[in-house]
Amino acid sequence: MIDRDKAFRILSEIGQEHVLKYFDELNETEQKELLSQIEITDFSVLENLAGDHNSGGERGSFEPLGAVTIKDIASESDRFTQTGVEALKAGKVAAVLLAGGQGTRLGFDKPKGMFNIGVDTELYIFQCLINNLMDVVKLAGAWVPLYIMTSEKNNSETVEFFKEKNYFGYDPSMI
């Protein structure tokens, strides 16, 4: 691992020595973490940000994308659906569920996907998402791999909840 002096030299070469301004106020663990981050950071990406065009490559132009209206989407709906179904059947598509948060703002001390939003019957946020995905599975006639990204805080609770609820009917091998 690099020391503070080496980190200062690295940062000085790129005009970023201010990163160490509060180094002495950090505890030893935090200092080591910062030095480790400095050591593994690829600062060469800053050249592109600074507009260094001497690297031989031309930068493209930046302009707004053309807008697609609801009417355009509706008129091409069959074609878009067919393209999506073909991609699903070919295994070129997966779904990602970002589920790392807790339900604290809902007054709920568990992963927010476990929150019951049902009025007359149990209906969990995770269940709603799985139901939506099941509609796609039925339409395509193919399972969609589902990747659920959790956090350290809620991973085990989320895994256990899905098992307890029998994955809401989704194929567990696809999760």
Under 8 Å CB-to-CB from 19, ≥6 apart: which residues? 11, 34, 38
Point out the least confidently predicted range of 20-24, 48-52, 99-103, 131-135: 48-52
- % residues pLDDT > 70 (the chain): 93
pLDDT score, position 164:
97
pLDDT score, position 54:
54
For the beta carbon of residue 34, count every other beta carbon within 10 angstroms.
Answer: 17
pLDDT score, position 1:
87
pLDDT score, position 51:
59
* pLDDT tens digits, one per residue of 36-88: 999 999 888 777 666 545 555 666 788 888 888 999 999 999 999 999 999 99
* pLDDT tens digits, one per residue of 145-171: 999 999 988 999 999 999 999 999 999
pLDDT score, position 58:
67
* pLDDT tens digits, one per residue of 87-98: 999 999 999 999
The phi and psi torsions of 13 (rounded to 5 degrees) equal -60, -25
Where are the strands (E) in 34-104, listed by range? 95-98
Bigger pLDDT: 106 or 133?
A: 133
pLDDT score, position 56:
57
pLDDT score, position 59:
67
* pLDDT tens digits, one per residue of 109-145: 888 989 899 999 999 999 999 999 999 999 999 999 9
pLDDT score, position 101:
82
pTM: 0.59
pLDDT score, position 78:
95
Residues 162 and 172: their CA atoms lie apart, in Å, by 9
Whether the CB-CB separation of 69 and 120 falls below 8 Å is answered with no
